[in-house]
Structure 1
Amino acid sequence: MKILKYITFTFFSSLLVVSCGGGSDNENPVDPVVPTVIDPDAASLVFPEDNTECNEGVINTNDETKSTVTFQWSASENTDSYEIKIKNLETGSITTATSTTIQKEVSINRGTPYEWYVISIANGTSSTASSETWTFYNQGQGIENYAPFPAVAISPQRGSTISSANATITLEWSTSDVDDDIVSYEVLFDTTETTVTSLGSTTESSIDVSVSAETTYYWKVITTDSFDNTSTSELFEFRVE
């Protein structure tokens, strides 16, 4: 009986050594499984609507020059949070807000044109996605007619370099007006950032200009409506090879 007990103990001891020994030293370690983070999709803007007057803001009781507007957008896939960018088109200043929902209350100036867009953010990746950019006027006290939105360059694109194959190119822009009463555009075009040379006024949203090779050009557009309200675009620039 002692011999049998000894053999049994030796057998199970051997099993224990084999099971706990970790196998051969030549086996490769297994890499841990790292979950894949999917890049976020772009959100779709809802409110304030594009090229409209926003009249749903709540006037601030401590500062009647401002009102609180609830910005809204649709949920985007693979997104954990959102960053809202709101640009004052008169001053160029940008307000940034964040939200984990699909809306955000932000206090902004009344009687002022703005543009806004939303950036979708996902945890675990540096990739983001941006929505379209919309413009709107935040309603102001006693305003019966709003100035046009500042023009946006279409061609040449801002900061672009173009070929010098042609001595004449076309400057093209776009703009809009809540009241839909734009009557003219004045184009300033120059080789310096002061851009004081006027090409005159036009009712079209494009104009032909003469250019030279190896030169950088600057231009802006002044838009006028039927009430003589005006808006001046940002300074656009391009280079001719």
Structure 2
Amino acid sequence: MKLKYGIFVLAIYFIAACGGSDNNNPDANPDPDPVPAPLAATLVFPENNTECNEGVVVNETQSTVTFDWNASQNTDSYEVNLRNLNTNTSLTTNSNTNSADITLQRGVPYEWFVVSKANGTNETASSSIWKFYNQGAGVENYAPFPAEALNPGRGETINNSGTVQLEWSGSDVDNDITEYDVLFDTVSDPSALLGSTSDTFIDATIATGVYYWRVISKDSQGNSSESEIFEFSVQ
């Protein structure tokens, strides 16, 4: 009986001494360092507010453009996000390098940005947003890019002061914007003309409630573009 008990104790000691537990192992790391978050990429091409004329023509309506950006730190892959500014439709393309070939409609304005991703973390980082026109066959003058709201911001709630200054940004490849028509109303599809101006701001009378507005940008060649509908609340 004593022999069996001695063998049992020896076995327990052997298991403990040979790695049955990592409690005394200085190399064990029960809490590994977190994966560092990726940093934002810097866009390179197509350049902001320009005409992209370096694509490979696929047919009369499409061309393939090589998108480039500078590689970002702590990043394993990238997601390229594009939005057709005429139709407001979006598409995404994934890449493991800092470039991607994407087929686009010709003669159409786009905006794009890149999201940096890393394995082992859900954190991401987004680049700045750039706009460009994909070159179209025989196009000599492009319509302005759709205007972007600056003030009030999208969905912002402001205090009722009786008036508000609507502000927006406008840009054009040909740099020939002549004026903006501003539509302003309390209905979700504004059609009432607030005014026309060559500035990028205009005053509007307000009361408590929800307001909707959009900007029509016009150039010297008779081209025009409509912005999205912007919304803000007054309290």
TM more than 0.5? yes
**Residue 171 of structure 2 corresponds to residue 176 of structure 1:** yes
* Alignment partners' CA distance in 1, 2:230 and 2:16: 72
Deviations 1:71-117 (A, max 9, x none): 00000011110000111000001111000000000000000100000
CA contact (8 A) 2:37 2:123 kept: yes
1:238 pairs with one of 222, 228, 232:
232
Aligned to 2:74: 78
* Alignment partners' CA distance in 2, 1:186 and 1:154: 16
Q: 1:64 is paired with a residue of what secondary structure?
A: coil
**Residue 134 of structure 2 corresponds to residue 138 of structure 1:** yes
* Alignment partners' CA distance in 2, 1:153 and 1:199: 15
CA contact (8 A) 2:39 2:74 kept: yes
Aligned to 2:5: none
1:108 pairs with one of 81, 104, 119:
104
- 1:51: how far off? 0.3
Q: 2:60 is paired with a residue of what secondary structure?
A: strand
Provide structure 1 residue ranges, at least 5 long, that are not aligned to the other structure.
1-12
2:118 pairs with one of 97, 117, 122:
122
Deviations 1:190-228 (A, max 9, x none): 000120100121010000111112x00000000000001
CA RMSD of aligned residues (A): 2.3
* Alignment partners' CA distance in 2, 1:152 and 1:118: 20
**Residue 223 of structure 2 corresponds to residue 225 of structure 1:** no
> How many residues matched?
224
* Structure with the greater alpha carbon radius of gyration: 1
Deviations 1:19-49 (A, max 9, x none): 5446xxxx97987232311111000000000
1:49 pairs with one of 47, 52, 65:
47
In the superposition, the TM-score normalised over structure 2's length comes to 0.89
**Residue 190 of structure 2 corresponds to residue 195 of structure 1:** yes
* Alignment partners' CA distance in 2, 1:224 and 1:14: 91
Letter in 1 for 2:173: V
2:181 pairs with one of 183, 186, 190:
186
